[in-house]
Homo-oligomer: A and B are copies of this chain.
Amino acid sequence: MQGTAQTPPQPAAYTPTDRTVPTRSADRASYDRELVHSILDEAYVCHLGFVRDGAPVVLPTLYARVGERLYVHGSTGSRPLRAAGQADSGLPVCLTVTHVDGLVLARSAFHHSINYRSVVVHGVAHDVTDPEEKRQALDALVDHVVPGRAADSRPANRKELAATAVIRLDLDEVSAKLKSGGVNDEPEDLALPHWAGVVPVHTSYGTPIPDPGLAAGTELPDYLQGN
């Protein structure tokens, strides 16, 4: 549906800003929109930072992406969600997502590193008050963890919706940072007898463990097959 009125074409990259241009390893930074989306879509837990009483707070939480917007949800009683809802101007946040892809073991301690892909989003989070946007965001949060799951579960009822706060964060001030590849030792270290190389790191899923009280005849759904 590209090119329709509903989906205006987006620039291929986010515009760098002072705080999305790193002071070092600038060659590892990227503003490519598709790359940012792919990193965000592969994970479901982010680390959300905000300021409380002048000090930083970083909490792990689920998120989902819908187009150029991220959603985070939680109890209406949780501190950041309450803060976003109470402040007229929203809550300044930094939302970070990181994949670890490999351990890089160099011959020198100094050149040890991690292969990774991360996305850092700066912005202001706002409470989602529109009921339809909130419902879509909650579906997206479930589907972001297990695609296809939202349609195969009992939707939130009025009471549950009222107990859940959702905040949104637009993808505007965004950067990705990546490191991949092999060992980068100093030439004079290459003959050292230490093993060097990369240990790949993966996230894997075990065999699903059914709830003991499953209704009779309930089969493992297709979207969980292959785990």
Contacts and interface: CB of A to CB of B under 8 A. Distances in A.
Interface of A: 19, 23-25, 44-45, 47-52, 54-60, 62, 75, 77-79, 92-96, 98, 100, 103, 105-110, 112, 114, 116, 118, 120, 122, 138-139, 142, 145-146, 149-150, 152-157, 160, 164, 182-183, 185, 189-215, 217-221, 224, 227
Number of copies: 2
A150 to B, nearest CB: 6
Nearest to A213: B190
A114 B62 CA distance: 9
- The secondary-structure label for the interface of chain A is mixed
Contact of A110 (B23, B93, B94, B160): B160
Contacts of A204: 201-204
B153 A107 contact: yes
B209 A197 contact: yes
Contacts of A185: 211
A31 B114 CA distance: 30
A58 B124 CA distance: 14
Given A109-B150, A112-B149, A195-B218, 8 more contacts: A56-B92, A57-B94, A105-B224, A109-B156, A110-B157, A193-B215, A196-B214, A199-B208
A227 B199 contact: yes
A205 B102 CA distance: 8
Given A116-B60, A156-B108, A208 B215 contact: no
A36 B42 CA distance: 28
